[in-house]
Amino acid sequence: MIDIKFLRENPDAVRENIKKKFQDYKLPLVDKALELDAENRAAISEANELRANRNKLSKQIGILMGQAKKDPSKLEEAETVKAQVKADAERLAELEDLEGKYAQELKKVMYQIPNIIDPSVPIGKDDSENVEIQRFGECKVPDFEIPYHTDIMESFCGIDLDGARRVAGNGFYYLIGDIARLHEAVLAYARDFMIGKGFIYMIPPFMMHGSVVEGVMSQTEMDAMMYKIEGEDLYLIGTSEHSMIGRYLDQIIPESSLPHTLTSYSPCFRKEKGAHGLEERGVYRIHQFEKQEMIVICKPEESMDWYEKLWRYSVELFRSLEIPVRQLECCSGDLADLKVKSCDIEAWSPRQQKFFEVCSCSNLGDAQARRLKIRIKGEDGNIYLAHTLNNTCVAPPRMLIAFLENNLQADGSVTIPEPLRPYMGGADRLKKVKSV
């Protein structure tokens, strides 16, 4: 959410930003917000005048009542002033109701207006116009056929999709044996990788209140992603970033303690509305998965530096596991409304001979902080909004697709890169098994 003061002073800049995001249908929201803001401020101003006048009139009544002891005519004058006080009180009650109404309506409109994107963001309508920035590692294609990722997992008796469908429906899975162990090994390795970067490891709540959901994402994202607990004001988290940021709800953080650099583990639950293509069957796009996340709370002037650090951590981690990746800059039309700047880290798929998303790094500026009232108190006593950032560290089982394809050998075994071996009991490869 942008600052209403910024909108008030720069309406044309806000309109231009909406156009850059190809959301022209939102242009009327600017005038609507300005109208509500003006009405709200007028109501507040009149209410403040009535409150100030009430004090004057109350003193005047006291004086007149005192004078009425000697001059009975003053009693009638006092009653007239009392009537004015009553009328003012009724009007004040009306104005206070209007203030609440205008503020709520204004908030609803402001939540729909997208955040101001960074000038460096490429302009484009959708993800087809995202821009490749650079590649890391050699994108090899072996001289043997690479099976589909679920077929690779099945060769190790490592997955059961049919059983999961019977239990929970499509979009769920059982991981078994070495594949299940590999899944947990990757998460543990990512956890220790981030701890080694100075991040504090955390496990957050896996549910959160609707007010927190509203604070961390747009209504569109919320409708498409979140599972609600029936009969309760609780939602299952779609990513730990949301409940991690929610931890700072209505908090004032001492500037001297910043930055807060956190890495969190959680299961994630997503509706994943809509139809998906053939390459997204299996465990690429699912309703339940686990993820290690990076979160940073920092001063505004440091957020772009942290953005650079975060996506580079993803590159370093994936390269340590022998997986080639590229950085893909998200264009304006592909940015969620709260984001200032975002990029995807995509892993190389030698089977498909193309890249696919495995990490998403985002700088949200002060949008989440404004919604959730996350503030910083400077050494000079000045209070201002924090900036928030997040990035995927690893999200298996999707990450396992890249791992298995890039480390698959001609004999069907899968090599385990050296950094991951301590988490796999020292094994240097996975070998096919007959049955479980």
pLDDT of residue 80: 74
Whole-number pLDDT of residue 433 = 78
For the ranges 8-17, 51-60, 158-167, 241-250, the lowest mean pLDDT is seen at 51-60
What architecture is the 127-430 domain classified under in CATH? 2-Layer Sandwich (3.30)
pLDDT in tens, 135-155: 999 999 999 999 999 999 999
Q: What is the mean pLDDT of residues 103-122?
A: 96
Q: Is 239 exposed, middle or buried (0-12, 13-18, 19+ CB in 10 A)?
A: buried
> Does 218 score more than 80 pLDDT?
yes
CB contact at 8 A, 238 and 268: yes
Give the residue among 301, 421, 423 at the shortest CA–CA distance from 363.
301
Give the architecture-level CATH label for domain 4-110: Orthogonal Bundle (1.10)
Which token pair is 81?
């002033």
Range(s) of the chain covered by CATH 1.10.287.40: 4-110
**Is the pLDDT at 224 greater than 90, yes or no?**
no
Is the bond preceding residue 397 a cis peptide, omega within 30 degrees? yes
Q: Biggest alpha carbon distance in the chain? A: 112
Q: What pLDDT digit, counting tens, does each position of 350-407 carry? A: 999 999 999 999 999 999 999 999 999 999 999 999 999 999 999 998 999 999 999 9
Task: Check residue 277 and give its pLDDT.
Answer: 44
Tens digits of per-residue pLDDT, 169-212?
999 999 999 999 999 999 999 999 999 999 999 999 999 999 99
Give CA–CA dist 182/84, Å, rounded. 77
> CA-to-CA distance for 204 and 191, rounded, in angstroms?
14
Q: How far from each other are the two terminal CA atoms of the chain, in whole angstroms? A: 52
Residue 39 has pLDDT above 50, yes or no: yes
**Per-residue pLDDT reduced to its tens digit, 117-130:** 999 999 999 999 99
Which three-class secondary structure string do you get for the chain?
Answer: CCCHHHHHHCHHHHHHHHHHCCCHHHCHHHHHHHHHHHHHHHHHHHHHHHHHHHHHHHHHHHHHHHHCCCCCHHHHHHHHHHHHHHHHHHHHHHHHHHHHHHHHHHHHHHCCCCCCCCCCCCCCCCHHHCEEEEEECCCCCCCCCCCCHHHHHHHCCCEEHHHHHHHHCCCCCEECHHHHHHHHHHHHHHHHHHHHCCCEEECCCCEECHHHHHHHCCHHHHHHHCEECCCCCCEECCCHHHHHHHCCCCCEEEHHHCCEEEEEEEEEECCCCCCCCHHHCCCCCCCEEEEEEEEEEECHHHHHHHHHHHHHHHHHHHHHCCCCEEEEECCHHHCCCCCCEEEEEEEEECCCCEEEEEEEEEECCCHHHHHHCCEEECCCCCEEECEEEEEEEECCCHHHHHHHHHHECCCCCEECCHHHHHHHCCCCEECCCCCC
Tell me what pLDDT residue 278 has: 38
pLDDT at 90: 81
CB pairs under 8 A, 24+ apart, for 422-425? 423/184, 423/185, 423/186, 423/188, 423/189, 424/181, 424/182, 424/185
* CATH 3.30.930.10 boundaries in the chain: 127-430
Neighbour tally for 401: CB within 10 Å: 25
β-bridge pairing 252-254 and 375-377 = parallel
The tens digit of pLDDT for each residue in 261-291 reads 999 999 999 997 654 443 556 898 899 999 9
For residue range 41-99, list pLDDT tens digits in order: 999 988 888 887 776 776 665 665 666 655 666 666 666 767 777 777 788 888 888 88
Q: How far is CA 411 from CA 105, 162, 176, 181, in A?
A: 63, 27, 21, 21
Q: At what angle do helices 177-196 and 398-407 cross, to 10 degrees?
A: 100
- The structure tokens listed for 5 are 């003061």
Contact 177, 436 (CB under 8 A): yes
Query: What is the predicted pLDDT for the residue at 129?
Result: 97
Q: What is the average per-residue pLDDT within 100-108?
A: 93
- pLDDT score recorded for residue 275: 42
Contact 328, 127 (CB under 8 A): no
Contact between 242 and 227 (Cβ < 8 Å)? no
pLDDT in tens, 287-341: 999 999 999 999 999 999 999 999 999 999 999 999 999 999 999 999 999 999 9
363-385 burial code (b ≥16 CB/10 A, e <16): bbbbbbbbbbebbbeeeeeeeeb
